[in-house]
Chain A
Amino acid sequence: METIKLIIDNKEVEVPKGTTILNAAKSVGIHIPTLCYMKLEDLHYENNPGACRICVVEIEGRRNLAPSCKMECTEGMVVRTHTPRVMNARKTVMELILSNHPAECLTCSSNGHCELQKIAHDLGIREIRYKGDMSTFTIDRSPSIVRNMNKCIMCRRCETMCNTIQTVGALTAVNRGFNAAVSTAFERDMAGSTCSYCGQCVSVCPVNALSGRNTQQPVLDALADPTKIVIAQTAPAVRTALGRDFGYEPGTLVTGKMVSALRQLGFDYVFDTDFAADLTIMEEGTELLHRLGRYLNGDKEVKIPLMTSCCPGWVSFVEQHFPELRDNLSTAKSPQQMFGAIAKSYFAEKLGIDRKNLVVVSIMPCLAKKYEASRPEFSVEGNPDVDYSIYTRELARLIRYANIDFKELPDGEFDRPLGESTGASVIFGTTGGVIEAACRTAYELYTKKNLDKVDFEELRGLEGIRSATVDFDGTPVKIGIAHGLGNARKLIEEIKNGTSPYHAIEVMACPGGCIGGGGQPFHRGRMEVLRRRAAALYREDANKPLRKSHENPYIQQLYKDYLGEPCGPKAHELLHTHYIDRKEVVGMYTETEKSK
């Protein structure tokens, strides 16, 4: 490999050709602050517009300062990263950015983990010498995401995420000069845009310009209401990430403490969405076998590949961008909604209470789940199956709010019956997990044989698109996996072209799957945070005594006592749904498409 020798702050550095000054400096322990720059190498996400100019450095012989995040090293380059000229420039630029950013830190939900705040602190900004007019944008509140462009610093991370990685194309820079901001097409509300609510824009926003919709107060109100029974369901990815907000290393499983914290918050029952994930596998796995059976028998009408439907961001994406393929989506509801439906029927009946007096709160790694819970088809006479969906960071806030010393909590256990789960459901939280869980069950149901090796290693990893052929005792089942909507789009294009080789496709809207969800504690560009979360879920799966959804005794009981057969009439009524063509809603049809 060709290397380059240069000098940074009097240190000799040798780096491969093509290395940026920023990375070269990093390699010798020199930390240059960055603001707009962000890279998630496994996900092929890189935002380096060179826009914030915080990372500028002095290069000998160069007229002006250079952005180290963009500038590649050249032979013999002499770089200085903290001369008075550089530091004055950095501070002045920082003051400029702060001069158009509301100083609302104390009441901002990003307080304490805001990247702008950190750099201001590190640079020792004590005074803003350049004050003047400030942006005055209207705050846009969608069901999942709040967009407050008065806080936007134009780092463009959200734009790169939304367009390059997710290919949703909901966010773009609009206007010019001081009025420039990130917005939707024609500056519509996000609710009227092509946004799928995946929330990835929120997870990369360094400030709080994009944030999750806050639903803590109604949850607190319900908990305080003596007439209500309040139950919690926690998604698998939450337990690997929640600890990060309490000082744990990334990927630390805090399942037991989370259960105890929820109980201490006043939840009457603490259940597990994993239970519903097992239920999803029963329904979706059965649906896959039905469709596969018809398909293999030469039925041309059947929609193959079957696409998973547990991710609401993905479902919205299909409904808005590819409604013509919505019948390929499994009709099985997502685990969150299956849980809600069962809780408000089976469990409410068990308790002998009206569903209106049962409040279901889901704790999700996801912002789109808020929107999903609000969909009218997931309610009975106006009473939603899931009353409130809060995301991981919101749960952390509630725990702190209630003066709970998280680290000192004992490990609690989920309540029964809706708290029991298998290893198969745990891995729902990472990309490839749903399909792996489905394979474990579908294999045994299809072959009527025992599956000895439950670890489908070929389905794991962080490669954007993965595929594998699973041998169902002589029947090769072809499986495609995509995470990130941009990757999903590629699989979808194959279906549209008629070149898709797959029988089943798993899609997670967020890169990495739910572990990288928009409601999770911020990774702040550290890829290993996501890797460790995924590893933790596979660890938890490996340690579970039961690892196949259909072996969950409470699931077996549920079918026996209440639901009947998977995909049977009762199951169909409670656990399946339909999808809507939303292209019209967001105005995406072209004139010619409309006239057809």
Chain B
Amino acid sequence: MAQYTNYILVCGGTGCRASQSEQIIENLKAAVDQYGLEDTQVIRTGCFGFCEKGPVVKMIPDNTFYVQVQPSDADEIVREHLVKGRKVERLLYVNPETHELVPDSKHIGFYKKQLRIALRNCGFINPENIDEYIARDGYVALGKALVEMTPEEVIKEIMDSGLRGRGGGGFPTGLKWQITRKVQAPQKYVVCNADEGDPGAFMDRSILEGDPHSIVEAMAINGYCTGASKGLVYIRAEYPLAVERLKIAIRQAKEYGLLGENIFGTDFSFDIEIRYGAGAFVCGEETALIHSMEGLRGEATVKPPFPSEHGYKGCPTNVNNVETYANIPVILLRGAKWFSSIGTEKSKGTKVFALAGKVNNVGLIEVPMGTTLREVIFGIGGGIKDGKKFKAVQTGGPSGGCLTEKHLDLPIDYDNLLSAGSMMGSGGMIVMDEDDCMVAMAKFYLDFTVEESCGKCAPCRIGNKRLHEILQKITSGNGTEDDLTRLRNLATVIKDTALCGLGQTSPNPVLSTMDNFYDEYLAHVREHRCPSHQCRELTQYFINPEKCKGCTLCARVCPVHAITGDRKIPHIIDPQSCIRCGTCMEKCKFGAIYVH
């Protein structure tokens, strides 16, 4: 077997692949061959998380971190870094505050404040190679559970760790396992919910792409604890890379005897199958997910009965989310005490967030529970883009609420987010700046829930549609104060009466923006004005005659010929024809065009 001393890790996550990381890998391999570097191995890893700066290439052992690498940079990286021993400075990460080059990943602000447990192997190992997983203590937890521990002991460990469901609800994982274990039934199932649907969230995908074996291992442990011999992964078909890597992981685990009959020589047998979802958000709700797997319409049913008692094909079924599973092997290896030492009183461990929106460092991060929003957004996220002012952050995706300046020092955990009017959800975190209109933002999320409602219960099916219509009316300048009363009543009733989690949370963006930004709503309905100039129907473009030089550029780029004027004479915009596309303002070299 070849011995390597140098490794080049290249991100093989979906985002970096879309930016040609496969080509980078090929070119790197060719260069390594060309320079005859037999001690160097190029490895395609899972997602590094720092998607803002992708494609990412990391050199081991010195942790040099190259960002925004192009396929054409491969030769230079190998020649300079490996052959000549010099860093390729132009590809190094630049500290946005000090403008200094950062020599390695350990000094990058994005990583410094993170604690990666669920993502421990992402960006570190080749997810398609079981040996690399095993080299990182993979399947040791399964062996320990099967050989040294009783199911009760494992469940107790999970309960003591304080791990709560990472899919949204935050239900104590150990308790869920115990309930499923206690139900007597000849056949039970464990399910991995990989139907990640929040817009912008991709933590489950990254774990499956970067560390699929951790899920396979955790599901087997779950099967051992609950008495299930069959595992099912419900994954959306739009995640082809995750599906592919999971398939490889399952196949390899079977080859190694880590799945199948009599695992580790015990009488425990366990197998995993994949079930594909068609990309319906509601199928992330566990009862809807189970119905979808059964071949039925993907819609929720009233709980109780809970899946732990009456789930897939009527059998007791334990459903956990991908990120929840990813924590299991580590908890067993390092102990409940260690895990529960991380986090807050009621929320233990870490949480992965997909940081997106108007923040400098967009990407996937993992922080201890209890980290403040400020640390996440300004520390790891590197602050707001273009030096703009922070306005709000939407946590929990379309089911969550938006939090404001006053919540910035709130330690993030399940209960704090709930009491602040939002929720953990699966971990989407979208940052908004002063340019974002909160009414339009609420409408945007309603767009999504109207689209994704299954249509079963009346409040969600019709109510969300009506919420959206009222918001449409307000953002187009036709709203009244009475509409605000109706909006709040309807949002409250939907939350109070909808059948499943989707409907019960879909009014959150409306309610939280009404609570925190009521003045913006009032401006829309009283003055028919959008303070952020985002609602097109409420904005008007003007040309400042004192600044306009009459260069005619705006008139030429206007797609609807709404701008007129002679050369060297200030132009004017006809508000009737103007479609408020903003092209003129973008193109004006003299800053003469403004919006009001």
The residues of A with any CB-CB pair to B shorter than 8 Å are: 49-54, 56, 64-65, 67, 70-72, 85, 88-89, 92-93, 96-97, 99-100, 129-130, 132-133, 153-154, 172-173, 175-180
**Which of B304, B453, B462 makes the CB contact (< 8 A) with A100?**
B462
The chain B residue sitting closest to A177, CB to CB, is B453
B294 CB to closest chain A CB, in angstroms? 14
* Residues A51 and B453 in contact, CB atoms below 8 Å apart: no
Does B497 touch A at the CB level, under 8 Å? yes
B255 CB to closest chain A CB, in angstroms? 35
* Residues B453 and A53 in contact, CB atoms below 8 Å apart: no
Q: For the complex, what is the distance from the CA of A96 to the CA of B486, rounded to whole Å?
A: 12
Q: Knowing A70-B302, A96-B459, A180-B455, say if A130 contacts B497 (CB, 8 Å).
A: no
* Residues B456 and A97 in contact, CB atoms below 8 Å apart: no
B377 CB to closest chain A CB, in angstroms? 29
Given the complex, which residues of A lie within 8 Å of B489, measured CB to CB?
88, 92
The residues of B with any CB-CB pair to A shorter than 8 Å are: 280, 297, 299, 301-302, 304, 450-459, 461-466, 469, 486, 489-490, 493, 495-499, 504
For the complex with contacts A96-B463, A175-B455, 13 further pairs of A-B residues with Cβ separation under 8 Å are A50-B302, A50-B457, A53-B457, A89-B497, A130-B463, A130-B466, A132-B465, A133-B465, A154-B455, A173-B455, A177-B452, A177-B465, A180-B456
* Residues B453 and A154 in contact, CB atoms below 8 Å apart: no
Q: For the complex, what is the distance from the CA of A52 to the CA of B459, rounded to whole Å?
A: 8
B455 CB to closest chain A CB, in angstroms? 3
* Residues B456 and A49 in contact, CB atoms below 8 Å apart: yes
* Residues B462 and A176 in contact, CB atoms below 8 Å apart: no
Q: For the complex, what is the distance from the CA of A93 to the CA of B499, rounded to whole Å?
A: 12
20 A-B contacts (beta carbon < 8 Å)? A49-B301, A50-B499, A51-B456, A51-B458, A52-B458, A53-B459, A54-B458, A56-B497, A64-B495, A64-B497, A92-B490, A93-B497, A129-B486, A154-B455, A154-B456, A176-B455, A177-B464, A178-B453, A178-B465, A180-B455
A138 CB to closest chain B CB, in angstroms? 18
The chain B residue sitting closest to A131, CB to CB, is B466
* Residues A99 and B302 in contact, CB atoms below 8 Å apart: no
Q: For the complex, what is the distance from the CA of A88 to the CA of B497, rounded to whole Å?
A: 11
* Residues A173 and B297 in contact, CB atoms below 8 Å apart: yes
A576 CB to closest chain B CB, in angstroms? 42
* Residues B452 and A64 in contact, CB atoms below 8 Å apart: no
The chain A residue sitting closest to B456, CB to CB, is A51
B457 CB to closest chain A CB, in angstroms? 5
* Residues A177 and B493 in contact, CB atoms below 8 Å apart: no
The chain B residue sitting closest to A69, CB to CB, is B302
* Residues A53 and B455 in contact, CB atoms below 8 Å apart: no
* Residues B496 and A85 in contact, CB atoms below 8 Å apart: yes
* Residues B496 and A177 in contact, CB atoms below 8 Å apart: no
Q: Knowing A51-B456, A93-B459, A99-B462, say if A178 contacts B450 (CB, 8 Å).
A: yes
- The list of the 4 closest CB pairs from A to B, nearest first, reads A180-B455, A177-B453, A50-B302, A96-B462
The DSSP consensus for interface residues of chain A is loop
The chain B residue sitting closest to A101, CB to CB, is B462
**Which of A72, A88, A180 makes the CB contact (< 8 A) with B461?**
A180
* Residues A51 and B466 in contact, CB atoms below 8 Å apart: no
* Residues B486 and A130 in contact, CB atoms below 8 Å apart: yes
B476 CB to closest chain A CB, in angstroms? 14
* Residues B280 and A176 in contact, CB atoms below 8 Å apart: yes
B460 CB to closest chain A CB, in angstroms? 8
Given the complex, which residues of A lie within 8 Å of B454, measured CB to CB?
176-177, 180
Given the complex, which residues of A lie within 8 Å of B496, measured CB to CB?
56, 64-65, 85, 89
B395 CB to closest chain A CB, in angstroms? 19
Q: For the complex, what is the distance from the CA of A154 to the CA of B453, rounded to whole Å?
A: 14
**Which of A96, A173, A179 makes the CB contact (< 8 A) with B466?**
A96
The chain A residue sitting closest to B298, CB to CB, is A176
Given the complex, which residues of B lie within 8 Å of A71, measured CB to CB?
302
Q: Knowing A172-B297, A173-B297, A178-B453, say if A154 contacts B497 (CB, 8 Å).
A: no
A285 CB to closest chain B CB, in angstroms? 45
Given the complex, which residues of A lie within 8 Å of B465, measured CB to CB?
132-133, 177-178
**Which of B280, B456, B458, B495 makes the CB contact (< 8 A) with A96?**
B458
Q: For the complex, what is the distance from the CA of A95 to the CA of B561, rounded to whole Å?
A: 46
* Residues B498 and A53 in contact, CB atoms below 8 Å apart: yes
* Residues B461 and A178 in contact, CB atoms below 8 Å apart: yes
Given the complex, which residues of B lie within 8 Å of A178, measured CB to CB?
450, 453, 455, 461-462, 465
Given the complex, which residues of B lie within 8 Å of A49, measured CB to CB?
301-302, 456
The chain B residue sitting closest to A85, CB to CB, is B496
Q: For the complex, what is the distance from the CA of A49 to the CA of B493, rounded to whole Å?
A: 19
Given the complex, which residues of A lie within 8 Å of B466, measured CB to CB?
96, 99, 130, 132
A91 CB to closest chain B CB, in angstroms? 9
Q: For the complex, what is the distance from the CA of A294 to the CA of B291, rounded to whole Å?
A: 50
The chain B residue sitting closest to A156, CB to CB, is B456
Output the residue of A50, A67, A130 with the most chain B CB within 10 A: A130
Q: For the complex, what is the distance from the CA of A92 to the CA of B461, rounded to whole Å?
A: 13
Q: For the complex, what is the distance from the CA of A92 to the CA of B302, rounded to whole Å?
A: 21
Given the complex, which residues of A lie within 8 Å of B452, measured CB to CB?
176-177
Q: For the complex, what is the distance from the CA of A177 to the CA of B460, rounded to whole Å?
A: 8
Q: For the complex, what is the distance from the CA of A10 to the CA of B464, rounded to whole Å?
A: 34
**Which of A56, A70, A172, A179 makes the CB contact (< 8 A) with B455?**
A179
Given the complex, which residues of B lie within 8 Å of A177, measured CB to CB?
450-455, 461, 464-465
Output the residue of B455, B495, B504 with the most chain A CB within 10 A: B455
* Residues B302 and A154 in contact, CB atoms below 8 Å apart: no
* Residues B458 and A93 in contact, CB atoms below 8 Å apart: yes
Q: For the complex, what is the distance from the CA of A262 to the CA of B454, rounded to whole Å?
A: 49
Given the complex, which residues of A lie within 8 Å of B504, measured CB to CB?
64
Given the complex, which residues of A lie within 8 Å of B497, measured CB to CB?
53, 56, 64-65, 89, 93
Q: For the complex, what is the distance from the CA of A154 to the CA of B496, rounded to whole Å?
A: 20
A45 CB to closest chain B CB, in angstroms? 18
* Residues B456 and A133 in contact, CB atoms below 8 Å apart: no
Q: Knowing A173-B297, A180-B454, say if A154 contacts B499 (CB, 8 Å).
A: no
Given the complex, which residues of A lie within 8 Å of B450, measured CB to CB?
177-178
B447 CB to closest chain A CB, in angstroms? 11
Q: For the complex, what is the distance from the CA of A132 to the CA of B464, rounded to whole Å?
A: 11
B472 CB to closest chain A CB, in angstroms? 9
The chain A residue sitting closest to B485, CB to CB, is A129
**Which of A85, A154, A176 makes the CB contact (< 8 A) with B458?**
A154
Q: For the complex, what is the distance from the CA of A172 to the CA of B291, rounded to whole Å?
A: 14
The chain B residue sitting closest to A180, CB to CB, is B455
Q: For the complex, what is the distance from the CA of A64 to the CA of B461, rounded to whole Å?
A: 18
Given the complex, which residues of B lie within 8 Å of A173, measured CB to CB?
297, 299, 455-456
Q: For the complex, what is the distance from the CA of A160 to the CA of B495, rounded to whole Å?
A: 27
Q: For the complex, what is the distance from the CA of A71 to the CA of B454, rounded to whole Å?
A: 21
Output the residue of B301, B465, B469, B496 with the most chain A CB within 10 A: B496
